[in-house]
Structure 1
Amino acid sequence: MPSPDDDDAVVQPAFDELARLSFAEHSLESVLLKVTELATRILPGQPLASVTILDDGRPSTVAASDDVATELDRFQYRAGTGPCLEAASTGRRTGIADTRDDPTWPEFAAEAASRGFDSVLSFPLPPQELVSGSMNLYARHVAVDDPRTAGLVTRLAAYAVGPVSNMYLYKSAVERAEHLQAALESRAVIDQAKGILMERYKLTADKAFQILARLSMERNVKLRDVATQVVHTGELDPA
């Protein structure tokens, strides 16, 4: 059996690669693909990997190394139960040692077995992270009760979920900033349109807004689009 020093020699270069990943050069998906590549390199069984994130209690797979991993995640989401949901919601490592004989999640275990996966391992994101989720491994021919294999998986998952979690938070922050910018731009054009109507028709701000809102409903178009038309043409009626 390989010694701990042998394992260190295998996994440390993988950890070093993860540490060198930067937000500027990688997307969330590319980070996970790197994690999966490293998992395949240091673990027996060529596992597939995915990351489940809970957003307001709703699970989603934010990245996966293969469509099959995503499909197995979604099987659990539809059922409302499974290793990935258990790990993500409780913060405890969980899995299926043998998909051909699992009393806890028999339907999911049978589905995983039918796709050629013998074992399933799910690791929660560390409790200090700002998101709830799990890293999931779907493995072929891996004895999860083997201490060495379990130890390697645990070390890789514990090290990998940090970059993955950080990338998710970074991506979410960028999306929120983009949504905020769009909202500010919408508010600006609506205020401009209100100003035009107030000046032209001697209306109050509330009355001008009511007219824009009524036209939006009557035409079944967004309020911003009505306001944009008023700003560009100076008219309430489209050309």
Structure 2
Amino acid sequence: MVAEDWADDFERLVDLIGATEDVKTFLEGMTGFGAGMMTRVTNTRIECAVTLRRRKRTATIGGSSERAIVLDRIEQTLGQGPCVDALDSGVPVLLGDVHSDPRWPKYSDALLHAGIDSALGVPMTLGDDSQAVLNFFAPEAGLYTEGVVADAVLFADMSSKALRLALRIAASDQRGDDLKAAMESRTVIDLACGMIMAQNRCSQAEAFDVLRRASSDRNQKLYAIAMDMVARVSGQQRAEAHFED
């Protein structure tokens, strides 16, 4: 492919990060770009799915078509195929012809029944705790020439950079949500302690101990005990602690 095509694909991937709200949606868009890129290269309709492995758990997250997602999930269930081997080895793995390649007979049979004659697994470089593989499916054998595989690897490298950014953004957002929730919980507990201090003329440590004992006696979380108390005293059904993002 020409440099202008690659630049356009990469720009679309970067734009996709800002336009989607979660990693799964990004992966679905990314596989659509990958399928389109390989279709242009081969002049044949190619389908694509992505498998993501995080913390030793592997799952098919998205695909350019429902068939691609199903075929990728079948491969993960069987534990055999080019995508599985690419994920383990870290190098591209080609199933050039389901009729003649003897390495993965059960998976080749599943591909054959789905109208797929060849498949290519291309690993993505994400980081220490994450791995991913792009799985490309073709309705003909012999399409994945050396040049086509090189183009697929280049697209996977570009996609890896974009996916790493998407994962970091998602992790940052989650940390932000966790921090906000912790701040809200702490505020409600502090409010409840203040009420106990006012009612019993005790110290903050003694007020907190009252809450802790109530939490233990009722087998409820400390936050829930504090929330009920603040809501009861304030006359609201539910106490709220507001923080601006």
**TM-score (normalizing by structure 1):** 0.76
Contact 1:89 1:132 in 2 (8 A): no
1:128 Cα deviation from its structure 2 partner: 6.5
User: Quick one: distance in 2 between partners of 1:78 and 1:194?
Assistant: 53
Taking structure 1 as reference, are residues 232 and 128 closer, same or farther at Cα in structure 2, changes over 3 Å only?
closer
Query: How large is the Cα RMSD of the aligned pairs?
Result: 3.1
User: Quick one: distance in 2 between partners of 1:44 and 1:120?
Assistant: 16
Which residue matches 2:174?
A: 175
User: Quick one: distance in 2 between partners of 1:55 and 1:87?
Assistant: 15
Which residue matches 1:24?
A: 18
Contact 2:211 2:222 in 1 (8 A): no
SS in 2 for 1:68: helix
User: Quick one: distance in 2 between partners of 1:112 and 1:213?
Assistant: 57
1:195 Cα deviation from its structure 2 partner: 4.2
Correspondences of 1:100-139 after superposition (within 5 Å): 100-126=99-125, 131-139=130-138
Contact 2:92 2:122 in 1 (8 A): yes
Contact 1:43 1:152 in 2 (8 A): no
SS in 1 for 2:49: strand
User: Quick one: distance in 1 between partners of 2:100 and 2:61?
Assistant: 29
1:56 Cα deviation from its structure 2 partner: 0.5
User: Quick one: distance in 2 between partners of 1:120 and 1:187?
Assistant: 53
Q: Give structure 1 stretches of 5+ with no counterpart.
A: 1-7
User: Quick one: distance in 2 between partners of 1:129 and 1:43?
Assistant: 33
Letter in 1 for 2:214: I
Taking structure 1 as reference, are residues 24 and 156 closer, same or farther at Cα in structure 2, changes over 3 Å only?
closer
Taking structure 1 as reference, are residues 49 and 207 closer, same or farther at Cα in structure 2, changes over 3 Å only?
same
User: Quick one: distance in 2 between partners of 1:176 and 1:100?
Assistant: 49
Taking structure 1 as reference, are residues 44 and 154 closer, same or farther at Cα in structure 2, changes over 3 Å only?
farther
Match of 1:205 among 205, 208, 213: 208
1:58 Cα deviation from its structure 2 partner: 0.3
Taking structure 1 as reference, are residues 223 and 86 closer, same or farther at Cα in structure 2, changes over 3 Å only?
farther
Letter in 1 for 2:99: R
Identity among equivalent pairs (%): 22
1:57 Cα deviation from its structure 2 partner: 0.6
Which residue matches 2:97?
A: 98
Which residue matches 2:228?
A: 229
Which residue matches 2:242?
A: none
Are residue 79 (structure 1) and residue 78 (structure 2) matched? Answer: yes
User: Quick one: distance in 2 between partners of 1:147 and 1:206?
Assistant: 70
Taking structure 1 as reference, are residues 38 and 157 closer, same or farther at Cα in structure 2, changes over 3 Å only?
same
1:107 Cα deviation from its structure 2 partner: 1.6
**TM-score (normalizing by structure 2):** 0.75
Which residue matches 1:215?
A: 218
Are residue 43 (structure 1) and residue 37 (structure 2) matched? Answer: no
Taking structure 1 as reference, are residues 135 and 205 closer, same or farther at Cα in structure 2, changes over 3 Å only?
same
Which residue matches 1:160?
A: 159
Which residue matches 1:53?
A: 52
SS in 1 for 2:116: coil
Contact 1:192 1:231 in 2 (8 A): yes
Taking structure 1 as reference, are residues 176 and 118 closer, same or farther at Cα in structure 2, changes over 3 Å only?
farther
User: Quick one: distance in 1 between partners of 2:191 and 2:198?
Assistant: 11
Aligned length: 224
Contact 1:43 1:153 in 2 (8 A): no
Which residue matches 1:66?
A: 65
Taking structure 1 as reference, are residues 154 and 31 closer, same or farther at Cα in structure 2, changes over 3 Å only?
closer
1:198 Cα deviation from its structure 2 partner: 5.2
